[in-house]
Amino acid sequence: MTVLMAIEGVLRKENGDPIPDGFKLYRTLLSSYRIVLSVDEDLKKVDHWLKTNYLFDYADVLTDKDAYKGQELRLRHLDLVKQGEKLELFIDSDPDTCAAALAGGVPTLLFSTPKHFQTHRELRPWDVITKEQERQKELVAERYLKYLNTEGQRWE
């Protein structure tokens, strides 16, 4: 059973410092899963960072060399792992990447901790968010009305 875990935003902050909650998650999963790490940089740099922070038990590291120019790196890493074995879980701090993985049929964990949040993420305008909330409320209400209309019917 394999887990693909992003280093950026899960194990490491943008400034290079470790994220303690990410390390706890890593150590917890390590006892039951084969962990493959995904990173956006050169293998030598990440290997040094992993050794400096005492992370040795991972199965593999996928780097920027494992994708073609123009490809979304994390999604390419997902495809590579899925080709070789059964991917049980994908962990990342980017909601868009997690949504794409979930749409691809991969169980996904969006990692978030109050002590760390991404600063480079593009934020949506507030009116777009409120419009989406209203759309979701309408869908729920519509489904509930359908349920109420079919509640007294018997299907034989």
DSSP state of 154: -
pLDDT tens for the chain, 156 residues long, are 888 999 988 998 888 889 999 999 999 999 999 898 988 888 888 899 889 989 888 878 887 776 555 557 777 777 777 777 788 899 998 888 888 888 888 888 999 887 666 655 566 677 776 777 788 888 888 888 887 776 655 555
DSSP state of 127: H
- What DSSP element (H or E) covers 53? none
Beta-carbon count within 10 A of 6 CB? 25
Beta-carbon count within 10 A of 14 CB? 11
Domain at 2-110, CATH class: alpha beta
pTM: 0.69
Among residues 5, 22, 6, 9, the alpha carbon closest in space to that of 117 is found at 9
* Burial state string for 82-110 with b = 16 or more CB within 10 A and e = fewer than 16: beeeebebbbbbbeebbebbeeeebebbb
